[in-house]
Amino acid sequence: MSPATRPALATPAQGYTEPRFVDVAGTPTAYRRSGSGVPVVYLHGHWATRRWLPFHEELARSVDLIAPEHPGFGESGPLPKAATRDDLVLHYRDFLDAVVGAPAHLVGYGLGAWIAADVATWFPERVASLTVIAPFGLRVPDQPIADIFLMNPADLMAAYYHGDPAPYADLVPGVGSPDQGGPEEFAQRYGELGSAAALIWNMRYDLKLERRLARLELPALVVTAGEDKIVPAGHGERWAELLSAKQVTIPDAGHAVVVEQPAAVADAIVELASEVASR
* Beta strands 127-133 and 39-43, pairing class: unpaired
Question: How many degrees, rounded to 5, is the angle at CA 237 between CA 235 and CA 239?
Answer: 70
pTM over 0.75: yes
Count up the domains in the chain and report the number. 1
* 92 within 8 A of 114, measured Cβ to Cβ: no
* Mean pLDDT value across residues 8-17: 78
pLDDT digits (tens, 9 = 90+) for 96-142: 999 999 999 999 999 999 999 999 999 999 999 999 999 999 999 99
56-to-40, 68, 91, 170, 207 alpha-carbon distances in Å? 11, 12, 22, 17, 31
Q: Please provide the size of the chain in residues.
A: 279
As a whole number of angstroms, the longest Cα–Cα distance in the chain is 50
Cβ-count burial 192-225 (b if 16+ within 10 Å, e if not)? bbebbebbbeeeebbeebbeebeebebbbbbbbb
Comparison of pLDDT for 204 and 244, the residue scoring more = 244
Instruction: Residue 30: give the domain boundaries.
Output: 3-277
pLDDT digits (tens, 9 = 90+) for 217-227: 999 999 999 99
Q: What CATH number does the domain containing 137 carry?
A: 3.40.50.1820
